[in-house]
Amino acid sequence: MAVPSPIVAGNWKMNGLKQSFEQIDAVSSFLSSKTKPTCRVLICPPFTLLNQFASLASDDLAIGAQDCHFNASGAHTGDISADMIADTGATFVIVGHSERRADHGESNELVSGKAVAAQSAGLNAIICIGETEDERDAGDTLSIVIGQLEGSVPASANASNTVVAYEPVWGIGTGRTPTIGDVATVHAAIRSALIKRFGEQGSTVPILYGGSVKPSNADELMHVENVDGALVGGASLKATDFDGIIDAYRK
Ligand code: PGA
Please say if the pLDDT value at position 2 is more than 90: no
What is the per-residue pLDDT for 1?
Answer: 64
What is the per-residue pLDDT for 204?
Answer: 97
Could you give the 3-state DSSP secondary structure of residue 88? helix
Closest Cα to atom 2, ligand 1: which residue?
Answer: 233
Q: What whole-number distance in Å separates Cα of residue 27 and Cα of residue 61?
A: 9
**CA distance readout (Å), 120 to 57, 123, 128, 148, 224:** 21, 7, 19, 21, 32
Fold of domain 66-175+185-235: TIM Barrel (3.20.20)
Question: What's the mean pLDDT when you consider all of the chain?
Answer: 97
What percent of the chain clears pLDDT 90, i.e. is strictly above it?
99
Could you give the 3-state DSSP secondary structure of residue 226? coil
pTM: 0.98
Chain-centroid distance, C-alpha 229:
9
| Residue 97 is among the residues annotated as catalytic for this protein | yes
Could you give the 3-state DSSP secondary structure of residue 82? helix
Q: What whole-number distance in Å separates Cα of residue 172 and Cα of residue 186?
A: 16
Ligand 1 binding residues, C-beta < 6 A: 11, 167, 172-173, 210-213, 231-235
What is the per-residue pLDDT for 248?
Answer: 98
Span 5-58, pLDDT tens digits: 999 999 999 999 999 999 999 999 999 999 999 999 999 999 999 999 999 999
Test site for ligand 1: of 95, 174, 212, most ligand atoms within 8 A of the Cβ: 212
Query: Active site residue: 99, 106, 131, 167, which one?
Result: 167
| Residue 135 is among the residues annotated as catalytic for this protein | no
